[in-house]
Structure 1
Amino acid sequence: MSVVRFLARPLLASSFIVAGADKLKNADATAEQLSPVLRRAADALPIRVEEKTLARAVGATQLGAGLLFALGKAPRFSASVLAMTTALNTFVEWRTADIGSKELRSARRARLLKNLSLVGGVLLASVDTAGRPSLAWRAQQIAADAAKQTKAAKADAAKAARSASRQLAPGSHA
């Protein structure tokens, strides 16, 4: 792991870890803030789940993914999870923010920009292969190599067939 990744991952993850722990610690407030979204999620589930339980799950997910990301364990997966939870939180915060004064509107805009910046950071991290090719890239390279080999084998077979037909043709002295 490069020094930059070694330092950057925990720095980026710190905000998510603290936010996840806060959501767990204050599950009632989290459930209230996330209520419109959580109510829809609870209604979509096949079993009855309380909003407070879903709020705890969101907090635990954010805390766990933040810790995994900070430690460099499953960094692409954990960054993807952090991007999803942060996008959800950003949407909810934007919709529920008090905008009764110019200062409150300015604070809401600042939080939106901060959250969008964090989403952008973890989205970049979610595609970072740490200098190693991704599985998709490796599969494309294998497929390209196989196609080249097939084309070469086909050309060799055609050449051999032409040579054989010349040797077997009437009037050839083979």
Structure 2
Amino acid sequence: MSVMRQVARPMLAWIFIQFGFNHLRDPSAAAPAAEAVVTPLAEYLPGFPKDHEQAVRLNGAVQVGAGAMLAMGRMPRAAALALAASLVPTTVAGHAFWKIEDPQERNQQLVHFLKNLSMLGGLLLAAADTGGRPCLARRSRAATAHARRDVRLACRSAQAANTARGVKERLPGR
């Protein structure tokens, strides 16, 4: 792993660990804002908690766990995707600047919204980072090309063996 990844991943993950831990400890501060997102999600997703504080705790647990995994470099792509998935409802619920009338408060929420949007971009980059190894699609294409080549070689070998057998049978003295 490069030094850049060793430094950047914990830097990206720290805010999720910090806020996730805070939401685990005291979900009451974020629960009222979460209502706008939790209620529709609870209707569409079976098993999703209907209680707003439980949903905030669940989101906090995902952020702490996935943030720690990203910081330590354990399954970083999956951890980054989990953090990205937890960040979208958090951003929509917590920073709905379009609903605020006061220009100063609206601007502050817009700044937080854009900050979360920037973090989402960083998480998507982290999720796409293969650590210098070829991505799954490229490895699949290479494996397919190797398999096709092997099949072609096997067919040519079989044809050559069949031709050689036919030639042997036509030779005099057999």
Q: Give TM-score scaled by structure 2 length.
A: 0.83
Counterparts in 2 of 1:14 and 1:97: CA distance versus 1, 3 Å = farther
Deviations 1:112-135 (A, max 9, x none): 221111111111111212123345
Quick check: 1:23 aligned with 2:20?
A: no
CA contact (8 A) 2:97 2:107 kept: no
SS in 1 for 2:69: helix
Q: What's 2:42 paired with?
A: 42
SS in 1 for 2:88: helix
Q: Report the Cα distance in structure 2 between the residues aligned to 1:139 and 1:59, rounded to whole angstroms.
A: 36
Q: Report the Cα distance in structure 1 between the residues aligned to 2:119 and 2:9, rounded to whole angstroms.
A: 12
Deviations 1:57-77 (A, max 9, x none): 111111221111111122111
Unaligned 5+ runs, structure 1: none
Counterparts in 2 of 1:118 and 1:47: CA distance versus 1, 3 Å = closer
CA contact (8 A) 2:91 2:116 kept: yes
Q: Report the Cα distance in structure 2 between the residues aligned to 1:91 and 1:4, rounded to whole angstroms.
A: 31
Matches within 5 A, 1:1-174: 1-43=1-43, 44-46=45-47, 49-95=50-96, 99-168=100-169, 173=172
| Divergent runs of 4+, >6 A | none
CA RMSD of aligned residues (A): 2.5
Deviations 1:16-56 (A, max 9, x none): 11221232233112221111221233344358652211111
Deviations 1:101-153 (A, max 9, x none): 33233223222221111111111111212123345543442332121111111
Q: How many residues align?
A: 172
Q: Give TM-score scaled by structure 1 length.
A: 0.83
